[in-house]
Structure formats: C-alpha cells, structure tokens
Amino acid sequence: MLLICLLFAGFGLLLGYAAQFLKVQGEPLVEKIDSLLPQTQCAQCGFPGCKPYAVAIAKNEADINQCPPGGEETVIALANLLGKQPKPLNTQFGETKPKSVAVIIEADCIGCVKCIPACPVDAILGASKFMHTVIASECTGCELCIAPCPVDCIVMQPVPEMPTPIATRFESNLDRAAQPCIRCGECANVCPMQLLPQELYWHSQAENLPKLQAYNLFSCIECGKCDVVCPSEIPLVHHFRLAKGKIALKNQQTEEAALAKYRYENQQQRQQRLLAEQAEKVRKQKQALEDMKAKLGMRTK
C-alpha cells in the first residue's frame, strides 16, 4: 500500500513538472487578436467568448466586424493588425452601446441563482433563496444575466463618464484662439523637469499615447511655466492634463479587460473540470452496475 502511494506521489510530481516546463504556448496571432477585443465575453459575435472569436478570425472563419461592444475602434485595430480594409460594424450582431453594468433590484430578487452561472466572469454574488448582488467593478456589461432571470429584477445602468479636468489659473487663455506652435523652444527652456513640452503638445494633438509616455508626460508637474512663456498662447498644461486622463483611462480599460479575461478563463476551466468529474462519476456508476449484474449472473448459474 505504501509503495502504491509513493508511486502516485511520484506521478503527481512528474505531471507538475511537465505542466510547468512543457506548457504549450498559445498561437501568437490568436493572442494578438484576443488582446484587441474588449473581453466582455458577451457572445454577441456568435462565439462563446472573446478567445473563441479570436481563434475564428485567425482561421478566417469569422469577420472582423462582429463585435458590437468593441465597435468601430476594434474593427479598425483588427484591420490594421491583419492588413485588411476596415468595414462598418455588422449590425446583425447588435449595435454598439455605451458601457454599462448590471444592477439587481434587490427588493424583487427571489434568490433563484439562475443568473450566477450565466455570468461569464463570476461578477454576481448570492446563494439559493438569498438576495444577490453584482460586483460593479467586475461586471463587463455583457447582459447575459438578464435573460435567465425569471422575475426581471436585473437592469443595465450606464457607467458614468470621467469628469472633464478643471482649468487651472494658468489656463485663462483657453477661450482664446490659440496660434499654431512656432517651435521657438521657450517652453523647453523654462521647464523645471527638463521635458520637451512642444513634443508633448504635438503628440497630445495626435493622441499618440505611446509617444507621450516615451516623452515622460507623467513627469510634468503642471507648474504652468510653459503656458506663461508660450508666444502662441497655447494652453499646454490643459492639453497635458487631458492626455494624462486619456492614458489613465486607457490603462484602466486594459486592466479591466485583462481581469475579465482571467476570470472568464478560470470559469471555463472550472466548468470543464466539473464536467470531467461528472463524467467520471457516471462512468464509475455504470461500472459498478455492470459489476453487480455480473455478480448476480454468476449467482443464478
């Protein structure tokens, strides 16, 4: 008995090492496509999640314009990645809507738990015959929990947009018609952080977020000295603050998408494990039944 236990322990260690060092990496193109999708896991594209849709696109089994939550921005990003021409969103799969989250009307919830397995990212908390609630920060707005609810107590509410930054005392010239940048370099001469405000301004106008980060936008302390010396009266600090907000929002969206993808993949793995366990249980029951029949057959002889 001890020898058998040791053998099983050895096999377990071998499998662990194999899973760690012989792990098969995902297909690079599929991963790139999947990274551009919004990770709402809403299945509106006709596939059970963003990763299956990415696989279908990579195999030319699906078009790039089937993702309503991603909208035109995602279609353009996919077209640029795959070297295709952008095309309008296919409205047969739905319309692009503002980002929203599910909210459970708690007074109407009967605790039926039908919405919980429908959520692809496990954003609903609750138990049988107890009130449920949605973790707003985890909800992707996929709307998959609405249909299973027998009492229609789940509604979608829009996510409030980030407020526009307030102008500072150095931005009194915002209402004026700013002149084009003449590249005089005065802004760079007075910058206490030794940045290149004119480069930051050009990239902020082009919304080139990677370049803004490369030029250390977040090192700007918004002192306003560049605004004061600018002969074109360009509200530089205002543009820098807007660009910081866009980068922060983009990073937040990227983090939320990565978290939603992680939770979705975990849920899929858990469901596959449960199905495998159920199949094994059924197999053992059938085997036990066959063994019992065999024993009864031997006794009747």
At 115 the pLDDT is: 94
In a 3-state reduction of DSSP, which class is residue 132?
coil
Q: Which of 174, 179, 240, 238 is nearest to 207 (CA)?
A: 240
Residues in the chain: 301
Tell me if domain 26-93 and domain 98-161 are identical in fold: no
User: What is this structure's pTM?
Assistant: 0.59
In a 3-state reduction of DSSP, which class is residue 119?
coil
Question: For all residues of the chain together, what is the average pLDDT?
Answer: 84
At 209 the pLDDT is: 85
Asked if residue 149 lies in contact with residue 171, where contact means CB atoms within 8 angstroms, the answer is no
At 300 the pLDDT is: 62
At 252 the pLDDT is: 86
At 36 the pLDDT is: 92
pLDDT band (50, 70, 90) for residue 296: confident
Choice among 51-55, 164-168, 208-212 with the minimum mean pLDDT: 164-168
How many alpha carbons lie under 13 Å from residue 190 in its C-beta half-sphere? 13
Q: Percent of the chain scored above 70 by pLDDT?
A: 84
DSSP 8-state symbol, 134: E
Query: CATH classification of 26-93, choosing from 3.90.1010.10, 1.10.15.40, 1.10.10.60, 3.40.50.12240?
Result: 1.10.15.40
Segment of 21-25, 112-116, 162-166, 207-211 carrying the highest mean pLDDT: 112-116
At 89 the pLDDT is: 94
At 173 the pLDDT is: 46
To which residue do tokens 């999640």 refer? 49
Q: What tens digit of pLDDT does each residue of 61-117 get?
A: 999 999 999 999 999 999 999 999 999 999 999 999 988 999 999 889 999 999 999
Determine the average pLDDT of the residues in 159-180. Answer: 53
Stated as kind and residue range, the H or E segment containing 139 is: none
At 297 the pLDDT is: 72
Locate the domains of the chain by residue range: 26-93, 98-161, 169-250
Determine the average pLDDT of the residues in 275-291. Answer: 90
pLDDT at 6 over 80: no
Query: CATH classification of 98-161, choosing from 3.40.50.10330, 3.90.550.10, 3.40.50.920, 3.30.70.20?
Result: 3.30.70.20
At 149 the pLDDT is: 95
pLDDT at 230 over 50: yes
pLDDT at 8 over 80: no
Q: Which of 82, 71, 91, 100 is nearest to 33 (CA)?
A: 82
At 9 the pLDDT is: 52
Angle, in degrees to the nearest 10, between helices 28-36 and 71-82: 160
At 66 the pLDDT is: 96
